[in-house]
Amino acid sequence: MEEIQKKIAALSEELEQHNYNYYVLSNPTISDFEFDQKLKELEALEKQYPQFADPNSPTKRVGGDITKNFQTIKHKTPMLSLSNTYSKEEIIEWEERVNKVIDTHHEYVCELKYDGVAISITYENGEIKHAITRGDGVQGEEVTANVRTIRSIPLKLKGNYPGEFEIRGEIFFPLDNFNDLNRKKREAGEDEYMNPRNTASGTLKQQDSSIVAERGLDCFLYSFHSDENEKETHFDSVAFAGELGFKIPLAKNNYIKKCSSIDEIMEFVDYWDKQRDFLNFQIDGIVIKVNSYAQQEELGYTAKSPRWAIAYKFKAEEVTTILEEVTYQVGRTGAITPVANLKPVLLAGTTVKRASLHNSDQIEKLDLHLKDSVFVEKGGEIIPKIVGVELDKRDPLAEKVKFIENCPECGHELIRKEGEAQHYCPNENGCPPQITGKIQHFISRKAMDIDGLGAETVELLYNQHLIENIADLYTLEYDQIMALERMADKSTQNLLDGIQASKAQPFERVLFAIGIRFVGETVAKKLAKHFKNIDALIQASFEELVNVDEIGEKIAISVQQFFQDEKNLEIIDRLKSFGLQFEIVEAENASNKLEGKSIVVSGVFETMSRNELKELIELNGGKNVGSISKKTSFVLAGENMGPSKYEKANELEIPIISEEEFLNMIKGDA
């Protein structure tokens, strides 16, 4: 039996090497027939001796696993989107923002922006543990069985890999495989797929993994995340991933390049703007990143995107169609957004029927008339927008589009504040979409995260006069909800349990949820941390508000105006009475001993795990950082501290302390 086990292991290793040669190196060393014969031999052995079958065997490449429900898993670190830019001038502005923070030499890395499906794959002991889609950036769906069928993704690694790490990249549909799939669709008399990206996304959600295997998806992996990663730059980490067996953007193909100036960046952009049509996969731009991890750490993040990276988007595809009419939407803040209703037209692989017109200035600038022939493109190839009018095709009797004067929902006269582009409906407590919009924001995942309650149910509750504001949610009763259409016992109880559970959400989430204009997630956290409770925030002066880190005049004015409204104060009093958290709950044993300190944790520890130490740092006011820089306060080092981190710390004269010294520091014994 031992011989059989060894044979299965040897065959698996050989087949994986052939997969790597063919799909990553594009350098096959045996024929397809020979490969298939060896694969069949392995399949037969695994069938006969299932006790020796490996979950990451090469036989998994052909699929066959059925997944009826894709489990939702939270990402270890959020998969943020990138800020977009469309011109050299905007890249220069981005670099100027970088230069304000990084006053030393820095280089950039440019790489292709693959038009596919973002994926995060975790490896443990050199084997795939799980693969998760981007989802909403915080959590995604597990698609491990389907990812195993993608032959360019290694099931087992080679080389000196970390014990556990995450690698991210983009799964895409090679154009020759996509075109072949559509040829088969045509021959079968079936509708063809619209575009490679959407088809790749749909393929990755197939319940039968053998269908995924047949379609021949591919993947580039380029973002390496590990506490054990000793590389100091993004470029070096990508190269290291290549050594482990991953298909990476290669410098020799000019898919990735180090640049030291805007001119070099633009050379890369211009080259690929011309050459992208010759690739066997689609790209929609170029990603530009600061190369150094330490400098990335200094630059940090906004709530939505890293400050150390930006995406340059190529000029979008443009088509012409007819403007049928303009309608108007009312947002939760009362902002009025005009929407162009278009004669349906195919654009970048999807049928476009509507486009945003943003505001009255945009309508005036375009000088829009009904039935105009308009140029439409996808801004960032996602949101359609009108960019021009074919004036020579305009009917002389065409009616000019005039921005409305009254709210389309409640009839209230619109206002436009000085210095602002949008019109607003000021009837915030009587305009239905504003009321339901505020409630929908309040219950959303990043706010109160109330399970069992969605937008449709909010509309239903409002239309039945059961709720008129966010506080009314906490007065709902079982019989009221059960009486609603499509509500059963279980869904009713889930909704009530979700409302009850939301009372435990921390102060910063509640502050974000109540919907103060310009107060997003990040601002809410800063205000909560600074003022500690809602009463202090309500009483804060303008000067006190603008003195908070990253709080400008616009936010300060908005916060004060919100709390000057008696109705808002009444709702907050009601929410307090229902038990919501309106102050920061200080964790037990917490202190400010590490306030203002940036700390790197490296190595293996005796009494506490690495994560426990990181939590302890935050509980005592410190900040965990991943890379050593001149701003690092000290390194908390255990056994087997990374040699490059040790070197860097000594070079910059950063103190290195032991676990015992650190714990004594927290206790106050040192």
Task: Examine the domain organization and report whether 604 and 471 are in the same domain.
Answer: no
**Single residue among 378, 404, 425 that ends a domain in this structure:** 425
Check which CATH number belongs to the domain holding 407 and give it.
2.40.50.140
Q: What is the pTM of this model?
A: 0.67
User: Strand pairing partners for 639?
Assistant: 604
Residues in the chain: 670
Alpha helix ranges (H) inside 514-642: 521-531, 534-539, 542-546, 553-564, 566-577, 610-619
Instruction: For tokens 């000793």, name the residue.
Output: 230
pLDDT at 303 over 80: no
pLDDT at 78 over 60: yes
**Single residue among 462, 488, 504 that ends a domain in this structure:** 504
Q: Is 190 inside a domain boundary? A: yes
Q: Is 7 inside a domain boundary? A: yes
Q: Is 132 inside a domain boundary? A: yes
Task: Examine the domain organization and report whether 106 and 229 are in the same domain.
Answer: yes
Provide mean pLDDT across the span 115-136. 93
pLDDT at 30 over 90: no
Task: Examine the domain organization and report whether 142 and 157 are in the same domain.
Answer: yes
Model confidence at 549, pLDDT cuts 50, 70, 90, reads confident
Q: Is 70 inside a domain boundary? A: no
Task: Examine the domain organization and report whether 95 and 228 are in the same domain.
Answer: yes
Q: Mind listing the pLDDT tens digit for each residue in 309-357?
A: 999 988 877 899 999 999 999 999 999 999 999 999 988 777 899 998 9
Task: Examine the domain organization and report whether 245 and 105 are in the same domain.
Answer: yes
Question: Residue 35: CA atoms inside 13 Å, Cβ hemisphere, count?
Answer: 17
Q: Supply the mean pLDDT for the chain.
A: 89
Task: Examine the domain organization and report whether 133 and 179 are in the same domain.
Answer: yes
Provide mean pLDDT across the span 371-381. 81
Provide mean pLDDT across the span 641-664. 86
Model confidence at 63, pLDDT cuts 50, 70, 90, reads low
Check which CATH number belongs to the domain holding 456 and give it.
1.10.150.20
Is there a catalytic annotation at residue 113? yes
* One-letter amino acid of 504: A
Helix (H, G, I), strand (E, B) or coil at 20: helix
pLDDT at 9 over 90: no
* One-letter amino acid of 299: L
Task: Examine the domain organization and report whether 337 and 475 are in the same domain.
Answer: no
**Single residue among 313, 331, 355 that ends a domain in this structure:** 313
Q: What percent of the chain has pLDDT over 70?
A: 97
Contacts 24+ apart (CB under 8 A), 419-423: 421/358, 421/359, 421/361, 422/335, 422/336, 422/337, 422/359, 423/335, 423/336, 423/359, 423/360
- What H or E segment, with its residue span, contains residue 602? strand 598-602
Strands (E), 39-116: 72-74, 84-85, 108-114
Q: Is 589 inside a domain boundary? A: no
Q: Is 69 inside a domain boundary? A: no
Alpha helix ranges (H) inside 49-131: 88-101
Q: Is 71 inside a domain boundary? A: no
pLDDT at 625 over 90: no
Task: Examine the domain organization and report whether 490 and 614 are in the same domain.
Answer: no
Check which CATH number belongs to the domain holding 216 and give it.
3.30.470.30
- Return the pLDDT at 670: 45
pLDDT at 16 over 60: yes
Q: What percent of the chain has pLDDT over 90?
A: 58
Active-site annotation holder among 113, 231, 438, 645: 113
pLDDT at 640 over 80: no
Task: Examine the domain organization and report whether 250 and 347 are in the same domain.
Answer: no
Provide mean pLDDT across the span 122-135. 93
Task: Examine the domain organization and report whether 563 and 642 are in the same domain.
Answer: no
- Return the pLDDT at 526: 87
pLDDT at 378 over 90: no
Model confidence at 379, pLDDT cuts 50, 70, 90, reads low
By CB neighbour count within 10 A (0-12 exposed, 13-18 middle, 19+ buried), where does 215 fall? buried
- Return the pLDDT at 471: 97
Task: Examine the domain organization and report whether 663 and 571 are in the same domain.
Answer: no
Model confidence at 589, pLDDT cuts 50, 70, 90, reads low
DSSP string across 111-138: EEEE-SEEEEEEEETTEEEEEEE-TTSS
Angle at alpha carbon of residue 229, lines to 611 and 615, rounded to 5°: 15
pLDDT at 53 over 90: no
- Strands 336-347 and 350-356, sheet pairing: antiparallel
Tokens encoding 164: 């556990």
Check which CATH number belongs to the domain holding 662 and give it.
3.40.50.10190
Task: Examine the domain organization and report whether 497 and 511 are in the same domain.
Answer: no
* One-letter amino acid of 254: N
Give the total number of structural domains in the chain: 6
Provide mean pLDDT across the span 144-173. 93
- Return the pLDDT at 669: 54
Tokens encoding 269: 């952009």
Task: List the domain range (segments joined by +) for residue 381.
Answer: 316-425
